[in-house]
């Protein structure tokens, strides 16, 4: 039975609403980043910039040095961008490496309490972050890891490890065990099999885990707000600081937000097919 005209119309209207809801804020941010400061108070509101300007980006990139509270914007922005990249990449690498080893152990090795331990680890996903902030902060202080790359990366790993572990365990369970058994008959050890066979087959799953971890770490705000106040402050913490008591610099906020969108957007655009295939890797055995 062919779908009716009304049904097709409802589908297209739903898609249009979804696209506007999802892409509308992104477009508004990018359009506002090219809008002069004086035009932000103009009424009625224009959905397209009436006068294009690159001043906000020039200030962020140090082309036209501007000062906020006596601090150069370019130096702050550059440091925050580097901090975001370093902490997100480090957390992604550690999380995927640890979860891959753990997932393989939970899938192929037999040891007492294996299922119970896996359930307990994954169950930590249900614990709200704010419930453990105080004890976690005390631990970080005692270890002298507050406002350090290592400390922030480890916190991100602890937050995203359960999800990555659950995903990769499903991926490893779907892999044919016959290849590993054949390699064992040829005298290959567990580590050789893991690094040379299993990881090769689990590529999409590893990529999916890496993408989810990176995007989650890149968009964190509460954790770096508390644990990265100065030296390792990321973009998510720096951008709100452009709002002062007496003035809101919409130009800097939207321009820095547009730049902050670029890296995760590129990750999703170019690695989207690996994300989908990785998430579906364990759905069919």
- At residue 66, the pLDDT reads 52
The residue among 172, 157, 259, 171 whose CA lies nearest residue 212 is 157
Same-domain check for residues 48 and 144: no
What's the pTM value of the predicted model, to 2 decimals? 0.85
- At residue 282, the pLDDT reads 52
pLDDT greater than 70 at residue 218:
yes
Last residue in a domain, options 31, 46, 67:
67
pLDDT greater than 60 at residue 284:
no
pLDDT confidence tier of residue 69, bands split at 50, 70 and 90: very low
- Beta-carbon count within 10 A of 216 CB: 18
Same-domain check for residues 206 and 234: yes
- At residue 115, the pLDDT reads 86
Non-local CB neighbours of 185 within 8 Å, separated by 6+ positions: none
Q: Identify the DSSP state of 248.
A: B
119 found inside a domain: yes
What would the pLDDT profile of 160-213 be if each residue is shown by its tens digit?
999 999 989 988 888 888 888 888 887 878 888 888 888 888 888 888 899 989
- At residue 148, the pLDDT reads 92
* Contact of 153 with 213, CB cutoff 8 Å: no
Non-local CB neighbours of 133 within 8 Å, separated by 6+ positions: 222, 226
Give the residue with greater pLDDT, 50 vs 82. Answer: 82
Once rounded to an integer, what is the mean pLDDT over residues 33-39?
82
183 token code pair: 């390699």
- At residue 153, the pLDDT reads 93
Q: Is the peptide bond before 44 cis (omega within 30 degrees of 0)?
A: yes
Q: What mean pLDDT value characterizes the chain?
A: 84
283 found inside a domain: no
Same-domain check for residues 141 and 35: no
Give the residue with greater pLDDT, 50 vs 169. Answer: 169
Same-domain check for residues 78 and 39: no
Same-domain check for residues 39 and 136: no
Range(s) of the domain holding residue 124: 73-275
Same-domain check for residues 231 and 136: yes
Same-domain check for residues 105 and 206: yes
Same-domain check for residues 149 and 22: no
Tell me the C-alpha distance between 94 and 153, whole Å: 8
Within 13 A of 215's CA, how many CA atoms are on the CB side? 18
* Contact of 68 with 242, CB cutoff 8 Å: yes
Same-domain check for residues 204 and 90: yes
pLDDT greater than 90 at residue 86:
yes
Rounded percentage of the chain residues whose pLDDT exceeds 70: 91
CATH number at residue 218: 1.10.3720.10
Same-domain check for residues 266 and 162: yes
Same-domain check for residues 80 and 56: no
Range of lowest pLDDT (76-80, 96-100, 193-197, 272-276):
272-276
pLDDT greater than 90 at residue 94:
yes
284 found inside a domain: no
35 found inside a domain: yes
Tell me the C-alpha distance between 253 and 244, whole Å: 12
280 found inside a domain: no
Range of lowest pLDDT (65-69, 228-232, 239-243):
65-69
3-state secondary structure of 113: coil
pLDDT greater than 70 at residue 73:
yes
Across 30-39, 54-63, 85-94, 171-180, the highest mean pLDDT is recorded for 85-94
Same-domain check for residues 16 and 100: no
178 found inside a domain: yes
24 found inside a domain: yes
How many domains, the chain?
A: 2
pLDDT confidence tier of residue 279, bands split at 50, 70 and 90: low
Last residue in a domain, options 40, 67, 94:
67
Last residue in a domain, options 67, 84, 105:
67
Tell me the C-alpha distance between 88 and 235, whole Å: 12
43 found inside a domain: yes
């Amino acid at each position: 039975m062919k779908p009716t005209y009304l049904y097709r119309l409802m589908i297209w209207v739903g898609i249009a609403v979804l696209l506007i809801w999802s892409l509308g804020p992104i477009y508004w941010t990018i359009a506002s980043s090219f809008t002069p400061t004086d035009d932000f108070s103009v009424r009625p509101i224009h959905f397209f910039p009436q006068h294009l300007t690159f001043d906000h980006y020039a200030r962020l990139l140090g082309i036209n040095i501007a000062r906020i509270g006596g601090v150069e914007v370019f130096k702050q922005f550059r440091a925050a961008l580097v901090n975001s990249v370093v902490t997100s990449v480090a957390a992604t690498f550690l999380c995927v490496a640890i979860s891959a080893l753990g997932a393989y152990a939970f899938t192929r090795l037999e040891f007492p309490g294996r299922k119970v331990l896996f359930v307990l680890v994954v169950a930590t996903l249900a614990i709200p972050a704010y419930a453990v902030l105080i004890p976690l902060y005390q631990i970080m202080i005692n270890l002298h890891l507050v406002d350090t790359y290592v400390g922030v990366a480890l916190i991100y790993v602890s937050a995203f490890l359960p999800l990555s572990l659950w995903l990769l365990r499903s991926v490893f369970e779907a892999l044919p065990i016959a290849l590993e058994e054949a390699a064992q008959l040829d005298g290959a050890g567990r580590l050789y099999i893991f690094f040379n066979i299993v990881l090769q087959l689990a590529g999409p799953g590893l990529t999916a885990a890496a993408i989810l971890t990176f995007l989650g770490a890149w968009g964190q705000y509460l954790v770096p707000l508390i644990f990265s106040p100065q030296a390792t402050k990321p973009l998510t913490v720096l951008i709100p600081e452009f709002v002062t008591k007496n003035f809101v610099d919409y130009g800097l906020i939207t321009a820095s937000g547009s730049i902050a969108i670029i890296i995760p957007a590129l990750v999703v655009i170019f690695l989207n097919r690996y994300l989908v295939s990785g998430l579906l890797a364990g759905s069919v055995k």
